[in-house]
Amino acid sequence: MRIVHLIPQLRFGAGRYVVDLAARQACVSGGDQVVVLVSADAEPPYQSDSRQIEALRGHGVRVAAAGDFFHRTVRGLTDAARQVARAAGVGRPWLAHAHTAMAAAVARIAGAHAVVGTCHGVAQDRPEAMDLQDALAWQVCDAVTSPSRHWAARLTDGFAVDRPLVMPYGLNLATYPRRERQARGDSQPIRLVTVAEQTHRKGLDVLLDAMPAVWAVAPTVECHLLGEGDAAASLRAHAARVDDTGRRVVFHGHQPGPYERLGAFDIFVLPSRSDNQPIAAIEAMLAALPVIASDVGGLGELVRDGACGWTVAPGDPSALSTAITAAVRAADSSRLELGTRGEAFARRQFDVTSAVSAMADLYERVWTARQR
């Protein structure tokens, strides 16, 4: 069975999941049996990460651009379908794994024998017409999955998807070596860290608004932000307003391998306004960091299921500062225990080997059903 992944861009967390999934699938079934097709990039902010492309190619997975299935135009979708059909291989049956609704529509037009869709979430406040388009496109799938229970329910309630499947992300845990965490000395400041695209959706402005109340109790706490995005400049200006010392908020820019940096920090914070199952939070758990996160999408599920931290209402600086203060005041041993529990959960739940096995079973079921 040839597997063709369609994803608009290989970038950020969803891209890393596809890289690890497709690479392991290629290892199991043979490199020529797995293809990853991306939409033609139009705007630089949405370009694929060249490191993710090279990682796939290093595993023998062919990566190619196939038209424009990102901008939702009829011409772009139909042209993409023709290119996808050629890339998949004329005359041989193939299964499409589509990572957006529009990718699913393109796969069906292109003649995929079976289509499995994965919903990684959608942007906030987008036009209602896009929700309708997605609801129609998800109907062409033989099965639809999402990594969190919240988004699986949202697919049913908001997009009329019948019985979506909850299938957690899988990561190559060999690339996430265990980190031995040590208790921080009394003279060392507590260091918060967030790893996120710096956009309105990730709520980093809420984190900055929460910090003055934290500093009123613990003046030496540091807040470190890893990432870039279209809100980067406004966030830096915001930080200058809330931190009168100019030293307690540190911007590190984009980090290609953030997991390697996490051992230097004490608490992970992700105050998203909307999210699904962010890889950054999973990586923080793998690094044995306690987590403070907004209770949105699958993010709150991660913290509760892993019993590894605190959840707060989104967009509420007061609630966030209360949670951060509680984490800062907690004993080192308590933070270490939370981190240990989260790591154990993440290593059980997010192993790519299990994800590939579960996905292979799903592929086989839909493939066989189509044959019948």
CATH number at residue 15: 3.40.50.2000
The Cα–Cα gap between 267 and 286 comes to 13
Do 303 and 212 have their domain in common? yes
DSSP 82-128: HHHHHHH-TTS-EEEEESSHHHHHHHHHTT-SEEEEE-----TT--H
The string of pLDDT tens digits covering residues 263-291 is 999 999 999 999 999 999 999 999 999 99
Do 156 and 256 have their domain in common? no
Which structural domain, as residue segments, surrounds residue 313? 174-349
Say if residue 328's pLDDT is above 90: yes
The Cα–Cα gap between 276 and 121 comes to 6
Say if residue 107's pLDDT is above 80: yes
pLDDT of residue 41: 66
Describe the crossing of helices 299-306 and 149-159 by its angle, rounded to 10 degrees.
150
| Helices and strands, counts by H and E, the chain | 13, 13
For the segment 305-321, the average pLDDT, to the nearest whole number, is 98
Do 113 and 262 have their domain in common? no
In DSSP terms, 167 is beta-bridged to none
Do 155 and 183 have their domain in common? no
Do 193 and 80 have their domain in common? no
The string of pLDDT tens digits covering residues 242-271 is 999 999 999 999 998 899 999 999 999 999
Do 166 and 178 have their domain in common? no
Do 75 and 91 have their domain in common? yes
Do 194 and 313 have their domain in common? yes
The Cα–Cα gap between 172 and 176 comes to 8
Do 55 and 130 have their domain in common? yes
Question: Considering its fold, how many domains does the chain have in total?
Answer: 2
Task: Estimate to the nearest angstrom the gap between the alpha carbon of 250 and the chain centroid.
Answer: 23
Residues 6+ apart with CB under 8 A from 314: 203, 206, 271, 272, 273, 274, 294, 295, 296
For the segment 324-332, the average pLDDT, to the nearest whole number, is 96
Do 80 and 224 have their domain in common? no
The string of pLDDT tens digits covering residues 164-199 is 999 999 999 999 999 877 777 677 899 999 999 999
